[in-house]
Structure formats: C-alpha cells, structure tokens
Amino acid sequence: LPYVSGSLEVYEQCTTWNNLAEHCELMVFWGCNPLNTSQISWQVADHGAWPGVQMLKKAGTKVLSIDPILTETCKELNGEWLAPRPHTDVAMMLGIAHTLYTEGLHDQKFLDRYTTGFDRFLPYLLGDSDGVAKDAQWASQICGLPAQTLRDLARRFASHRTMLALGYSTQRQHHGEQIHWMLITLAAMLGQIGLPGGGYGLSYHYSSGGAPTSTTPILGAIGDASGQSSEGAAWLAQSGAISIPVSRLVETLLNPGKTMQFNGTEIELPLIKLAYWAGGNPFSHQQDRNEMLRAWRNLDTFIVHDFQWTATARYADIVLPATTSYERNDIEQVGDYALSHIVPMKKIVEPLFEARNDFDIFADIAAKLGKGYEYTEGLSEMDRIRGLYEGAKIESRAKGMEMPVFDVFWESNKPLAFPVATAQEDFVRHADYRADPLLNALGTPSGKFEIYSRTIERYEYDDCPPHPTWMEPMERLGRPNARYPLHVAANHPQMRLHSQLCGTVNRQSYAIAGREPCWMHPDDASARGLSDGDVVRVFNDRGQILAGLKITDEIRPGVVRINEGGWFDPVNAREIGSLCRYGDVNALMTGVASSRLAQANCGHTGMVEIERYTEPLPEVRVFSQPV
C-alpha cells in the first residue's frame, strides 16, 4: 500500500463510525468482520467496533457483507450476504469496475485529479491489452456469483454514498496484494474517497478502527542512552543484522546461501543455527507445519520464553518460564486508534514458581555476556515505566494539558482518560487530500493514488504486475482439475486471540469432541455421509488433522471453516506428516509467499478433503504437561 496510497494504510485511522452513521448510505463489509476481529490489538483492546456497529444499526444504514461466511457483523446489522468463492475478490471487483466504466458510472474527474495510471490500467480492464474483457460475465465464471448481481452492485455503489471496508485477511492468500490495490482502484472510480461516509476503510475490523482519536500523548519506545529510539528495520540496519519477513522463516532455514527477492531488494538468506523466540508461537502462526518441522531440524538450538507449554515450547531445547501480564508491571494505552487512556498495568501477584520477567531474563543474559549495562543502561523496570510516562507528560503539556505526576498516576491504579478532539469526532479519511491534493499530497512518488506503479514496474516481478491484476492463485475453489474439492477458511477465532487462550478452560465453550470445530455446509456434509458432532479427518498433501464437525448453513457450499490458532498436537512429534490430534489448521495451509513484493503469508490458501474418522480416537495431549 505505500506504493498505492503512500502509507501503511491498514494501520491508519479510517472515517469514524459517527460520520458513517450520519452520511453513509451503503456500508460494504468485504472480508471484514469487526464484531469478531476488533478484539485484536497491539495495545489494550477497547472493543470500539461494538458501539460503532450499533450506530449503523440505529441509523438504518444499508449493509452488505461479501464473505464466504455469514459473519457476526452481518447478522447483527441484518445485512445482505453475498458469498463468492474464496480468493476471487479481484475478479469480482474487476467485473464491477468494468460495469462502472462501460455504463459511465465512474468519476473521471476524480481519477484525473487525484490518481495516476488509470489510463494504463484501462486497457487491461477492457481487454484491449490481452483480449479478455474483465466484464461481469467473465468475473461471474470465476467468483461464482451471477453476472447480473455484479452489474447491480456497480449501480448500487455508484448511486449511494458507499463505504468499502476491507479486512486484513483478504491479503493473506496467493497474490493477495492485488486485492487491496483493486479495492482502492474501485473506490477511486466511484470518486467518493475523502467524502463523508464514502470511500474505503482498511482498519474497521481491527482494534478500535473507526473510533475517534483522543488527545492522548503517545507513549514512546525504549531507546538508547541518548534518548533516541530505533525500532524494527531501522534498529536492524544500525546493528548490521539481516531483516527477513517472518513468513519466510521456513524458507530461510531450508535454503541458507540462496537469495530472495523482497520489496525491490535482494536478500541473501543466512545460515541460522540458533533461534530465540519470545512473545510468539510460530508453531501456530506459520503455515505448512510439516515443512516447518523439516526446517527446524536444521537448527542446533531453539530457545523459547513462555508461560504455557505451547506447541512451540514443546519443540524448544531450552524453555525459560516468563511471567504473564498479571505478574509484572507495565504501562500501556487503550485502543490502537482511539488512544483513549493511559493505563497503569500493575502486577496483581508475584511471579509464580520460576517465572521471570522477559526484561530480567535478557538483562541477566546480557550481564553474562559482559554487556549488562549496555542493555539496561542502569535502569530498572520501574525506571523504564516512569520514563515512558514522563515522555508522554512532556507531550501532553505541549498540547495544553497537564497530567498528574507519575507517583499519583501509579498509585491511583486507574486508567488516565483523555478527551476526544472535537475535529476527530467527524474525521473523514483523506478529506484533507481531497480538499487540497498539492498541499496534502500522498506519500507516493506522484503524490497521488497510484493505480499504475512505475516503481513496481521497475522491479519486473512476474507475480506482482504494476497495476491491479487478476492472477490465478495456486489453489482455489472452482479451479479446474483441482486435486482437493473443499476450500479452507482459516478465520480468526471469536473466543481467543489467535492461539492465545487455546490452552485454557475457555476452550470448553467451543471445542467439539475436545477438538477444534470444522464448519461445513449441509450439502457438503450430506455428500460425505457426515453428521453434526462427528470427528473428521481433514487432509491434503501437506498434512492431516482431526476436527469436530459443525454443520451449518452460515457458510458457502464448497468452503469449510477451521479457525486459526489451534495448538499443534501430532500423534508422533518426531514424524513428518503425523496426524494432529487437536486441529491446527496451519498444518494444511500453503507456506508459499504471496508474491516477491510482500513475501507475505498465504494463511487462507488451502484445499482439502474431509472424511469421518473411524479409528479409535487418540487422546488430545497438547494441553497437558509434556512429561
């Protein structure tokens, strides 16, 4: 998206729910389910989607959900549900765009003033460049929806103030970059970007996306002794380390010395013999579990911090017990976009057993390496927390607000609230750009939305052309001569955060026969002689898992849903291809990259077959002590 809109758009604030309730006439949730996924947050989640959705409901806004699954958001808003085949969103959008253009429903003045490259994209859309017109009939054969439905969508989008809300998950597929690019192109053709209630939004599904931003000062990052913080790629560059996309970890371990194209650069993959993992669960969030096991055999040592015996911890050589948030002090903000409060996160119990704070573990390791002071800078945990607060206090004073002294804040044990700026209540994404595209130019080379990117053109990637393009994914429902007939949707679970809480009693509220649920349409179940509650084997060439069957008409025929985050529990942990007893869906999903541009994961790309499991059921063991 930096190539298209000039920023990491999926992390930017979007038009507020308040504004949508007043001005939006048609709200389109495209692969976007805020009532499920807004619990995901880098900071303290504030679940701001619920009041936002209620605003739309009270306003009577028309709602359309485009998703293979009937979502909680669509049901709450009594919305219209369209269920295309997974991975066909770009083709569907192209079919809509073709109707917009050929029926004169597009906004050419907006395209001329605020975008660049539409003239390079248009021959592809009309079929002049490749002989294939991307019309509604063409798109219908790919996405599985009637051509007339696509034509009607184009007319409805153009005749209403329309907000196109897209979820993160749509990118997590083979050639997934094309989806966000094409959605922005579609929104540009409608000409409503920057208008109240219209345009597009890429963060309504996440944390407090759509909530107005408060006047809260920002808590900084831990920096070096000079007070200058360096994070992420900047810190890695300064240290001389190599930055590799986390989704390419398996590829790196398997192919040391080979090169990888990434985002216009070339990386030589290093030889890695020791891996150190803190704050993650790669044996949940990486795809193609058996290929991952092959890669892990190339490590000499694997060290893990955790407070539970996750699947990752079970594959570690050294496990260092780390504290939970209940056992350590910290400071945090509420809502990634709302930033409504600063919270004193005081520990409520002393660390249990041998658990230690991550900071203390790393400090002692640094000390043994003779770098103790360089790591801690002579500061304790509470010194760091106080320093972050004092930095925010300086920013607050510059805004004309006075925060209490740190000791008063800390001892109060209450969140410190900040008011919402009046202008933020009615915030409209890209309104400033629309008002003055020269003064408020976007961060692209042209300063405009780039429907055609000359930068990407220079990369010469055959898997990521320089304009939005329908590219056949390696696997999808409806592809001719498919080896497996069912497409797996690896959705975010409603009752946990990715793999977090899977190892708790919370699991009892959703598990079927003690295993991860597998949703299936009644027609698909009947064709296989399956019944609700059966334990089934879900399999393909990459792996096999057990799951508990839930038969429901809230899913498209040909699609099954198994939530991501289930813990990997192989019958034989040393055997490649061993049956997973609990239901880790990522044992089935492909580990290939989305493209050479992003090198992102394809966590939604996987075709499977399903059958009743008739052998004696193996006991699920991943939630008990390993020895």
pLDDT digit string, tens, across residues 268-295: 999 999 999 998 899 999 999 999 999 9
- Summarize the confidence of residues 120-132 as an average pLDDT: 98
Mark whether 102 and 200 lie in a shared domain. Answer: yes
Mark whether 376 and 407 lie in a shared domain. Answer: yes
Mark whether 167 and 59 lie in a shared domain. Answer: yes
The answer to whether position 543 is within a domain reads no
Those residues whose C-beta lies under 8 Å from the C-beta of residue 378, and which sit 6 or more positions away, are none
* Contact (Cβ atoms closer than 8 angstroms) between residue 335 and residue 208: yes
The CATH number assigned to the domain holding 179 equals 3.40.228.10
**Region of poorest pLDDT, from 65-74, 120-129, 474-483, 523-532:** 474-483
Instruction: Decide: residue 152, CB within 10 A, 0-12 exposed, 13-18 middle, 19+ buried.
Output: middle
Q: How many domains does the chain have?
A: 2
| 456: its two tokens | 């990407």
* Contact (Cβ atoms closer than 8 angstroms) between residue 451 and residue 188: yes
Confidence of residue 229 (pLDDT cuts 50, 70, 90): very low
**Region of poorest pLDDT, from 45-59, 232-246, 264-278, 601-615:** 232-246
**Region of poorest pLDDT, from 14-23, 200-209, 585-594:** 200-209
- Summarize the confidence of residues 139-152 as an average pLDDT: 99
β-pairing verdict for 26-30 and 259-262: unpaired
- Summarize the confidence of residues 437-465 as an average pLDDT: 97
β-pairing verdict for 341-345 and 330-333: antiparallel
Q: Residue 38: what pLDDT? A: 81
Cβ-based neighbour number of residue 214 at 10 Å: 20
Mark whether 304 and 363 lie in a shared domain. Answer: yes
The partner residues of 356 in beta bridges, in order of sequence, read 322
The answer to whether position 328 is within a domain reads yes
- Is the predicted pLDDT of residue 224 greater than 60, yes or no? no
Q: Residue 227: what pLDDT? A: 39
Mark whether 382 and 308 lie in a shared domain. Answer: yes
Please list, residue by residue across 48-87, b when 16 or more beta carbons sit within 10 angstroms of its beta carbon and e when fewer do: bbeebbebbeeeebbbbbbbbbbbbbbebbebebbbbbbb
3-state helix, strand, coil in the chain (%, to 5): 35, 15, 50
Confidence of residue 228 (pLDDT cuts 50, 70, 90): very low
Please list, residue by residue across 554-584, b when 16 or more beta carbons sit within 10 angstroms of its beta carbon and e when fewer do: bbbbbbbbbbbbbbbbbeeeeeeebbbbbbb
Which helix (H) or strand (E) segment holds residue 54: the answer is: helix 49-59
- Side-chain half-sphere exposure of 405, counting CA atoms within 13 A: 2
| 13: its two tokens | 């604030």
Single-letter residue type at 283:
F
The answer to whether position 365 is within a domain reads yes
Domain of 346?
Answer: 232-417
| 255: its two tokens | 């192919």
Among the residues of 421-571, which ranges form H helices?
422-425, 431-435, 454-459, 522-527
Cite the beta strand spans of 52-103 per DSSP E.
62-66, 80-82
Mark whether 199 and 246 lie in a shared domain. Answer: no
Mark whether 275 and 331 lie in a shared domain. Answer: yes
Cα of first residue to Cα of last residue in the chain, in angstroms, is 47
Single-letter residue type at 175:
H
Q: Residue 226: what pLDDT? A: 35
- Summarize the confidence of residues 338-358 as an average pLDDT: 94
- Is the predicted pLDDT of residue 236 greater than 70, yes or no? no
Cite the beta strand spans of 354-490 per DSSP E.
416-417, 449-450, 486-489
* Contact (Cβ atoms closer than 8 angstroms) between residue 538 and residue 547: yes
Mapped onto helix, strand or coil, the DSSP state of residue 546 is: strand
Distance CA 549, CA 551 (A): 6
The answer to whether position 166 is within a domain reads yes
The answer to whether position 562 is within a domain reads no
- Of 200 and 340, the structure prediction assigns the larger pLDDT to 200
Which helix (H) or strand (E) segment holds residue 364: the answer is: helix 358-368
The answer to whether position 134 is within a domain reads yes
Alpha-carbon distances, residue 625 vs 205, 268, 308 (angstroms) = 36, 40, 9
Mark whether 157 and 176 lie in a shared domain. Answer: yes
Alpha-carbon distances, residue 163 vs 18, 99, 588 (angstroms) = 13, 18, 34
Distance CA 625, CA 627 (A): 6
The answer to whether position 332 is within a domain reads yes
Q: Residue 344: what pLDDT? A: 96
The answer to whether position 476 is within a domain reads no
Mark whether 193 and 238 lie in a shared domain. Answer: no
Distance CA 571, CA 621 (A): 9
Q: Residue 471: what pLDDT? A: 97
Q: Residue 242: what pLDDT? A: 80
The torsion defined by the Cα of 244, 249, 253 and 255, in degrees rounded to 10, comes to: -70
Mapped onto helix, strand or coil, the DSSP state of residue 168 is: helix
The CATH number assigned to the domain holding 327 equals 3.40.50.740
| 327: its two tokens | 């056992």
β-pairing verdict for 535-539 and 607-612: antiparallel
The partner residues of 341 in beta bridges, in order of sequence, read 417
The predicted-structure confidence for 404-419, as pLDDT tens digits, reads as follows 999 999 999 999 999 9
pLDDT above 90: percentage of residues in the chain: 83
- Is the predicted pLDDT of residue 461 greater than 50, yes or no? yes
* Contact (Cβ atoms closer than 8 angstroms) between residue 444 and residue 178: no
Mark whether 27 and 157 lie in a shared domain. Answer: yes
- Summarize the confidence of residues 541-547 as an average pLDDT: 98
Q: Could you write out the DSSP letters of every residue in 18-36? A: HHHHHH-SEEEEES--HHH
* Contact (Cβ atoms closer than 8 angstroms) between residue 236 and residue 575: no
Confidence of residue 234 (pLDDT cuts 50, 70, 90): low
R_g of the chain, CA atoms, integer Å:
25
Instruction: Tell me the range of 134-138, 167-171, 246-250, 507-511 where mean pLDDT is highest.
Output: 134-138
Q: Residue 46: what pLDDT? A: 80
Single-letter residue type at 312:
T
The position carrying tokens 């922005």 is 184
Region at 243 (left for phi over 0; alpha for psi -120 to 50; beta for the rest): beta
Q: Looking at 417, 445, 475, which one is the last position of a domain?
A: 417
Q: Residue 491: what pLDDT? A: 92
Sign of the Cα torsion 450, 451, 457, 461 reads positive
Q: Residue 328: what pLDDT? A: 96
Mark whether 161 and 247 lie in a shared domain. Answer: no
What is the average pLDDT score of the chain? Answer: 94
Cβ-defined contacts of 420-424 (< 8 Å, 24+): 420/212, 420/213, 420/214, 420/215, 420/340, 421/212, 421/213, 421/214, 421/215, 424/16, 424/212, 424/213, 424/214
- Is the predicted pLDDT of residue 591 greater than 90, yes or no? yes
- Is the predicted pLDDT of residue 465 greater than 50, yes or no? yes
Q: Residue 213: what pLDDT? A: 85
Whole-model pTM: value is: 0.94
Distance CA 142, CA 87 (A): 10
Q: Looking at 417, 443, 468, which one is the last position of a domain?
A: 417
Q: What is the DSSP letter of 420?
A: B
Mark whether 284 and 385 lie in a shared domain. Answer: yes
β-pairing verdict for 80-82 and 341-345: unpaired
Q: Looking at 397, 417, 437, which one is the last position of a domain?
A: 417
Confidence of residue 11 (pLDDT cuts 50, 70, 90): confident
Q: Residue 238: what pLDDT? A: 62
* Contact (Cβ atoms closer than 8 angstroms) between residue 604 and residue 492: no
